Amino acid sequence: IKKDREKWAEWAEREEQEKREREGQAKEEACGLVERQACKLRERQAKLYIDEYEYYDNY
């Protein structure tokens, strides 16, 4: 019975560790996605600013 409890405790610890790793990886992926989206948004804003500047510069 003691060995069964030890095996269960080891299994539970392994499961918890794997869960933490998956959650960490998911957070990293989400942060990377948000960063890429923010970068694209900044690029679009810069392009709009340049387009607007050129538009008014032509008048």
- Name the H helices within the chain: 2-57
Among residues 19, 9, 6, 37, which one has the least CA distance to residue 45?
A: 37
Distance (Å, whole) CA 22 – CA 30 = 12
Mean pLDDT of the 16-36 span:
90
pTM, entire model: 0.51
Mean pLDDT of the 18-35 span:
90
